[in-house]
Amino acid sequence: MWSDEYHKVHRNTLRHDLQSNAREWTSDYWKQKANIAIKDRLQSGCSGHGAKRARNVVLFLGDGMSVPTLAAARTLLGQRDHRTGEEAQLSFENFPTVGLAKTYCVDAQIADSACTATAYLCGVKTNLGTIGVNAAVPRGDCPASADSATHVESIGAWALADGRDAGIVTTTRVTHASPAGAYAHVANRDWESDVDVLNDSHDPQTCPDIAYQLVHSYPGNEFKVILGGGRREFIPNDTIDEEGSAGKRVDGRNLIEEWQMDKISKNVSYQYLWNREQLLNVNENLPEYLLGLFEGSHMQYHLEADARTEPTLAELTETAIRSLSRNDKGFFLFVEGGRIDHAHHDNKVAKALDETIELSKAVSRATELLSEEDSLIVVTSDHAHVMSFSGYTHRGGDILGPSDEVGDDGIPYMTLSYANGPGYRPHTPEGRFDVMKDENYGDVNWVSPAGVPLQQETHGGDDVAVFARGPQHALFAGLYEQSHIPRFLAYAACIGPGPHACQHDTA
Ligand SMILES: [Zn+2]
């Protein structure tokens, strides 16, 4: 049973027996590959800006934020400002270094958010659908994942081990695949609460669910900041949350209460929040530990959000940075704009672009709060989508509108359309359907056209962009494995198991 409507896997062709790639099953393979890349960069002089090291590291992720998504979102941003649009820039597009990351996973040409989270947060490529474990664990193999030798640590854990603080921010459930990469070890991304583990006929005692791991296991239980959605994964199925939604858990646990009890037992200050007003107020007097769960499931799309209850990603990011900045040694923060992906899956392009612009605003807030001298900020994506940006439209043409030309059939086509997804329209007796005749054409929930009928649009296999600003930013130039990203970050911050920039200090 798949609890994630956006990522149903229909086929049974996933192969875990690619013997030619058996080396990729080990964590060391990926680590060594990254170390070679760091060495190459130092030799070519593309890094090593004096003795600069990063005290703070913020990794921003636009889930499913493909390169065409960036181009379309920046055009929309400019057009909202009554300009032609193409010349506009998202906040991070002026960062000094840009690179490209290869997103394939060990058993998959086209990635999902679980194996990629393991790559860009733990430095190891793994199998589709698995998080925080190496590729020796096939998806769904609970016993294999129970062997801690298969577990891989995240850069969040590396930061904590160095005495820095760590936190996560997302617009999805905090137990969703991307943020889970920062703290969970799990053979199936869908095991967000205990009922999901049981539904797959496994014992949650052997394979604890993701919410449980966040509250009770290292490093999640030491995160100073946890902000996002997903209350339902933390509370019992006979409990109704603050906004009237039911929980999912069948073990009777209330993990929100248990998180608070844990902080009481450690004699540290803490606060649990569930709405925007509480978030804005907490900035006045930040506790040591902060847990904010603003929705039962994912947070609302920005275009539809209730501004009274729903903070923006920029507001969440600001609170997280203010909280974590109190540690003089520094911090690691992961921030995800997680619903770009969901909107693409639904072929709802206006929402996907708006969520991208919201991520841009959050990055902008971070650049205002953090100095380029001591804070490394990296913005990337986990995988692409199959939205295409096509035609020969004139400069300033409505990015959400039709192309200047019509198809050879005389019917208009859209500048932004999808290779597949729910937006497929069957041909009429006259031929291709003119989507501009849809009743809700132009509405935020209007569904863009797609070439192949699929309940959910798929991810794309393209490379994703990586933007970097701050100490050692030049490491991120070039084209490399996605699993190099946390090792480059760790090099710059002098944390984790790899080589460190500090080893090259002249001081
Ligand atoms: Zn997706």
Instruction: Say how many domains are in the chain.
Output: 2
Structural domain for 145, as ranges: 22-386+458-504
Residue tagged active-site, from 47, 113, 381, 403: 113
Assign residue 85 a region (left: φ > 0; alpha: ψ between -120 and 50; beta: otherwise).
Answer: left
Average pLDDT over residues 34-46: 80
Structural domain includes residue 470: yes
Same-domain pairing of 344 and 431: no
If pLDDT is split at 50, 70 and 90, which confidence band does 52 have?
confident
Structural domain includes residue 201: yes
Instruction: Please identify, among 434, 453, 472, the residue that sits at the C-terminal boundary of a domain.
Output: 453
Structural domain includes residue 409: yes
Same-domain pairing of 286 and 318: yes
Strand residue runs (E) in 396-477: 402-406, 412-414, 416-421, 450-453, 459-460, 464-469
Same-domain pairing of 211 and 253: yes
Give 113 Cα–ligand 1 centroid separation in angstroms.
Answer: 6
Same-domain pairing of 343 and 423: no
Q: What's the confidence (pLDDT) of residue 498?
A: 83
8-22, 174-188, 251-265, 449-463 — which is least confidently predicted?
A: 8-22
The answer to whether residue 504 scores a pLDDT higher than 60 is no
Give 198 Cα–ligand 1 centroid separation in angstroms.
Answer: 24
Same-domain pairing of 36 and 130: yes
Same-domain pairing of 143 and 241: yes
Q: What's the confidence (pLDDT) of residue 506?
A: 39
Alpha-carbon distance values, 275 to 117, 147, 281, 296 (Å): 27, 39, 10, 12
Structural domain includes residue 16: no
Give 455 Cα–ligand 1 centroid separation in angstroms.
Answer: 13
Average pLDDT over residues 474-480: 97
Summarize pLDDT for 436-457 with one digit per residue, the tens: 999 999 999 999 999 999 999 9
The answer to whether residue 187 scores a pLDDT higher than 90 is yes
Read off the amino acid at residue 7. Answer: H
Instruction: Please identify, among 412, 435, 453, the residue that sits at the C-terminal boundary of a domain.
Output: 453
Q: Is 113 assigned a catalytic role?
A: yes
Give 279 Cα–ligand 1 centroid separation in angstroms.
Answer: 28
Structural domain includes residue 159: yes
Average pLDDT over residues 292-301: 98
Q: What's the confidence (pLDDT) of residue 15?
A: 55
The DSSP call for residue 298 is S
Give 383 Cα–ligand 1 centroid separation in angstroms.
Answer: 8
Give 6 Cα–ligand 1 centroid separation in angstroms.
Answer: 6
Q: What's the confidence (pLDDT) of residue 39?
A: 86
CA separation for the pair 19, 16 (Å, rounded) = 9
Q: What's the confidence (pLDDT) of residue 2?
A: 43
If pLDDT is split at 50, 70 and 90, which confidence band does 41 have?
confident
Give 351 Cα–ligand 1 centroid separation in angstroms.
Answer: 14
Average pLDDT over residues 127-147: 98
Give 341 Cα–ligand 1 centroid separation in angstroms.
Answer: 5
Give 342 Cα–ligand 1 centroid separation in angstroms.
Answer: 6
Same-domain pairing of 352 and 412: no
Structural domain includes residue 172: yes
47-51, 164-168, 302-306 — which is least confidently predicted?
A: 47-51
Closest among 275, 285, 339, 351 to 311, alpha carbons compared = 275
Same-domain pairing of 416 and 372: no
Summarize pLDDT for 228-282 with one digit per residue, the tens: 999 999 999 999 999 999 999 999 999 999 999 999 999 999 999 999 999 999 9
Same-domain pairing of 230 and 322: yes
If pLDDT is split at 50, 70 and 90, which confidence band does 49 have?
very low
CA separation for the pair 206, 209 (Å, rounded) = 10
Average pLDDT over residues 408-432: 95
Element at 381 (helix H, strand E)? strand 375-381
Element at 264 (helix H, strand E)? helix 255-265
Give 439 Cα–ligand 1 centroid separation in angstroms.
Answer: 28
Share of the chain above pLDDT 90, in %: 89
Structural domain includes residue 42: yes
If pLDDT is split at 50, 70 and 90, which confidence band does 14 have?
low
CA separation for the pair 77, 286 (Å, rounded) = 33
Tell me, what CATH number does 288's domain have?
3.40.720.10
Give 287 Cα–ligand 1 centroid separation in angstroms.
Answer: 34
Closest among 167, 184, 171 to 225, alpha carbons compared = 167
Same-domain pairing of 114 and 168: yes
Q: What's the confidence (pLDDT) of residue 4?
A: 76
Residue by residue, DSSP assigns 142-192 as HHHHHSGGGB---HHHHHHHTT-EEEEEEEEETTSHHHHTTT--BS-TT-S
Give 424 Cα–ligand 1 centroid separation in angstroms.
Answer: 18
CA separation for the pair 214, 440 (Å, rounded) = 41
Same-domain pairing of 228 and 322: yes
Average pLDDT over residues 330-354: 98
The answer to whether residue 46 scores a pLDDT higher than 60 is no
Same-domain pairing of 184 and 258: yes
Give 54 Cα–ligand 1 centroid separation in angstroms.
Answer: 31
Give 170 Cα–ligand 1 centroid separation in angstroms.
Answer: 15
Closest among 458, 346, 474, 461 to 116, alpha carbons compared = 461
Instruction: Please identify, among 427, 453, 479, the residue that sits at the C-terminal boundary of a domain.
Output: 453
Structural domain includes residue 1: no
